[in-house]
Amino acid sequence: MSPLPFSKISSPLNALLAATGLVAVAALTMPDVAERTRLILAVLLGGIWAVYVLQLIETLVMQRTRDVRDRMPAIVIDMLAVFVPLAAFLLVGSRDQSLCCAIWLLKPLRDSTFFRLMARVLTNEAHNLIGVTSIFGIVMFSAALAAYIIERDVQPDKFGSIPQAMWWAVVTLSTTGYGDEIPQSFAGRVLAGLVMMSGIGIFALWAGILATGFYEEVRRQDFVRNWQLVAAVPLFQKVGSAALIEIVRALRPRVVPAGAVICRKGDTGDQMFFIVEGRVIVATPNPVELGSGSFFGEMALISGEPRSATVSAATEVSLLSLYSVDFQMLSTSCPEIADIIRKTALERRGATPKA
C-alpha cells in the first residue's frame, strides 16, 4: 500500500511547516496584532495541525510494516504534535491555546539524523561529560563559599548566604557577567578573576569532548559504510582482515549520476575506481561496458600516462576511488590485488588501439 501522497511530508517541508507554525505562535503573543490577522494565524495553525494529523495516520497505518522500534521516535513526536494542541483547544483558556502549538518544535527532530548522532555522542562521552560537569559543580560551590566568606560583611544583601553567592558563581564561571553582583573587596575581585579563568577552561573541556566525540562517531559511521561497500567488491573478498581495514580507510565512496563523465580521455589520472553498483561505458573505439565488481582508471594511475579513454556513467553508479599514494600502500599490503590490477591494465592496453 503506497503512503497517502498528501501526508508523505519530506523532512524539509516538515521543518518548514513547524517553523511557519512557530512564527504564527510567536506573532499571536504580540498584543497589537489586529483581530483579522489573529483569525488568519489561527486558521494557519489549524491547517498545519490538519497536515500533522495526516502525517500521524501515515506513521501509524501506512508504515506499520516497518519495525516499531525504528518508528517509535516518529510515533511519539507525531502524537504529541497532534494531541497536545488538541488538548489545549479543548481544555485550556483561549489566551494560551496557541502556545501549546510550540510542541511542534519537536517536529524537526523526527526526521533528523543529526539528533540521533548527537544522542550517540552524548552516550559515548557520558563518562567524560559527567566528569567535567562534576568539576563544574565543585568549582561553582567552592567559588560561592569563598565569595560568601569574603563578601558577606561588605554586601550582605547580595552575598549574605551561599545560595545567594551561588548565582554570582554561575554567572562568573560562565563568563556571562550580568553585573548585578560585583565583588567590592580586593580579595573578592581576585577570586572573580580565578573563577572566570576556571570557567573558560571548563567550557573548553566540554567543547573539546563533544568535538572529539562527533569526529569519532562520524569516522566510525564512515568506516562501517565503507566496509559494507568494500565487501561488495569481489576483488577484496579474499583479503585478510588487517589489510581490509587499510583498504577501507583508503577507499573513498562516491555516487555519480547517470550520464556524467567520470574521467576524460587525455586528462591526467591520479585515482582509479572500483564499481560497487551500476554500470559505466568506456568510450574506446569499440565501447566497453563495465559493471559491479569491475574497476577502471588503473592504466593512467600505473603508467602515469594520460587517460586512454573517456569513462561515463551508464546508470547511477556507486564507486570507490583509490588515489595513487594509496595504491602504493595496496601494493605492499595486498600484492596479489595490485598484480591483478597491473595485469588487467596490460591486457586492456593491448586491447585498446591507439587513436
Summarize as ranges the residues that interact with ligand CMP (CB under 6 A): 263, 269, 282, 284, 288, 296-300, 307-309, 311, 348, 351-352
Residues in the chain: 355
Query: Hey, what's the cell of 89?
Result: 483547544
Give SS3 for 277: strand
Query: Hey, what's the cell of 107?
Result: 517536529
For residue 99, which amino acid is it? L
The distance of closest approach from Cβ of residue 66 to ligand CMP in the complex, given in angstroms and rounded to an integer, is: 41
- Whose Cβ is closer to ligand CMP: residue 49's or residue 274's? 274
Q: Are 320 and 253 in contact (CB under 8 A)?
A: yes
Q: Are 183 and 192 in contact (CB under 8 A)?
A: yes
- Whose Cβ is closer to ligand CMP: residue 132's or residue 309's? 309
- Whose Cβ is closer to ligand CMP: residue 46's or residue 306's? 306
- Whose Cβ is closer to ligand CMP: residue 101's or residue 330's? 330
> Given the C-alpha cell 559515548, which residue does it identify?
124
The distance of closest approach from Cβ of residue 311 to ligand CMP in the complex, given in angstroms and rounded to an integer, is: 5
Burial class (CB in 10 A: 0-12, 13-18, 19+), 246: middle
- Whose Cβ is closer to ligand CMP: residue 244's or residue 302's? 302
- Whose Cβ is closer to ligand CMP: residue 195's or residue 272's? 272
The distance of closest approach from Cβ of residue 284 to ligand CMP in the complex, given in angstroms and rounded to an integer, is: 5
| CA dist., res. 269 & res. 336, Å (int) | 23
Q: Are 309 and 284 in contact (CB under 8 A)?
A: yes
Q: Around 322, how many Cα atoms within 13 Å sit in the side-chain half-sphere? A: 27
The distance of closest approach from Cβ of residue 264 to ligand CMP in the complex, given in angstroms and rounded to an integer, is: 9
Q: Which residue is nearest to ligand CMP, using beta carbons?
A: 300
The distance of closest approach from Cβ of residue 281 to ligand CMP in the complex, given in angstroms and rounded to an integer, is: 10
Alpha helices (H) along 251-292: none
- Whose Cβ is closer to ligand CMP: residue 103's or residue 251's? 251
Q: Around 170, how many Cα atoms within 13 Å sit in the side-chain half-sphere? A: 7
The distance of closest approach from Cβ of residue 251 to ligand CMP in the complex, given in angstroms and rounded to an integer, is: 16
The distance of closest approach from Cβ of residue 253 to ligand CMP in the complex, given in angstroms and rounded to an integer, is: 19
